[in-house]
Amino acid sequence: MKIIRSVRQMQSHCRILAANGKSIALVPTMGFLHEGHLSLIRKAGKLCDRVITSIFVNPTQFAANEDFSRYPRDEKSDLAKIKKAGGDVVFIPKAKDIYPDNFQTFVDVQKLTRTLEGNVRPGHFLAVATIVAKLFNITRPDVAIFGMKDYQQAIVLKQMTSDLNYPIRFVIAPTVREKDGLAMSSRNSYFTTEQRKEAVCLYRALRRAKVMASENISDLNAIRTDMERVIKSICPTAEIDYIAFTDFESLEPLMTIRKNCICSLAVRLFNVRLIDNMKLL
């Protein structure tokens, strides 16, 4: 497995791979890898000749009051996991190389970023789209793979890929969950053992919404109220940022449950902010 830290070396390596007829899959990450990330790497290995995993904690996508400085990092463990999962190349750039002095160009995907996470975290998707566009330019992948847990992010980046005519097959892989249903996330490591037990409230609330939808309950206010009840019954101190029902493709808000409805939510538990989602119909 090859480790590359230089942008120019990464570009050169990818040009050589392409010249030799090798297809490239890119799995962008911020490190501190869990089984969700590793499932993407394994999937990428089935789709392309070479798998590049990037590790970069992107400073521009964290607001001043967010957890950039304490975001978990463990490069040694990440490298061992990537190798075991079948990764071929790991790209670990430095922030000063990604954002050199006088950097001033950003990618703005407009409509899809004005709701849900984009409404709560202004500027977040501007930073996400920009770093991913840069990674695409550096690695020139044939396939890019993202997880369903960060659903809005995936839809935004899929739109960017199409709008900017990147010749990339965009793949959204299913969310990988713990045995109790909690979506795997690097931020889960923030919880104590007891706090972790209450984090399952997001999944339980989503499951409740899906059951209600299957029972032909279409009143979104009734479903949202029941979801809030489930969350608070498991974690009384939880703070709900939003519970939203949108169209699976357009992210347009829905007035009632219908086909292609996805429920997304963001909840703060013990000063840790988690997101999750589930397609209801």
Catalytic residues: 37
Give the integer Cα–Cα distance in Å for 268 and 250.
26
Question: Which tokens in the block code for residue 37?
Answer: 């990330």
Q: Which two tokens stand for residue 60?
A: 């521009």
Query: What is the C-alpha separation between 21 and 89, in angstroms, rounded?
Result: 17
> What's the CA gap between 50 and 52, in Å, rounded?
7
Residues near 97 by Cβ (< 8 Å), separated by ≥ 6? Answer: 6, 7
Of residues 134, 129, 131, 116, the one with CA closest to residue 59:
131
Short-list 268, 263, 239, CA closest to 251: 263
Closest residue by Cα to residue 162 from 247, 52, 249:
249
Residue among 70, 276, 270 at smallest CA distance from 178: 276
